[in-house]
Amino acid sequence: MTRLAAGPLIAGLSGIAYALMSDLGAGALTVAYHGGSSCSTMPEMQRILIAIGAALLLAGLLWPWLSSLGLGRLPGEIRIETQNGVFYAPITTCVVISIILLVVIWFIRR
Per-residue tens of pLDDT for the chain, all 110 residues: 444 444 444 444 333 333 334 444 444 445 555 555 555 667 888 998 999 999 999 989 998 888 888 888 889 999 999 999 999 999 999 999 999 999 999 998 88
Beta-strand ranges (E) seen in 13-96 are 16-23, 26-33, 78-81, 86-89
- pLDDT given for residue 82 in this prediction: 95
Residue type, 82: T
Determine how many CB atoms are found less than 10 A away from the CB of residue 94: 13
Distance of CA 28 to the CA centre of its chain: 31
- pLDDT given for residue 3 in this prediction: 47
- pLDDT given for residue 34 in this prediction: 52
- pLDDT given for residue 38 in this prediction: 54
- pLDDT given for residue 95 in this prediction: 94
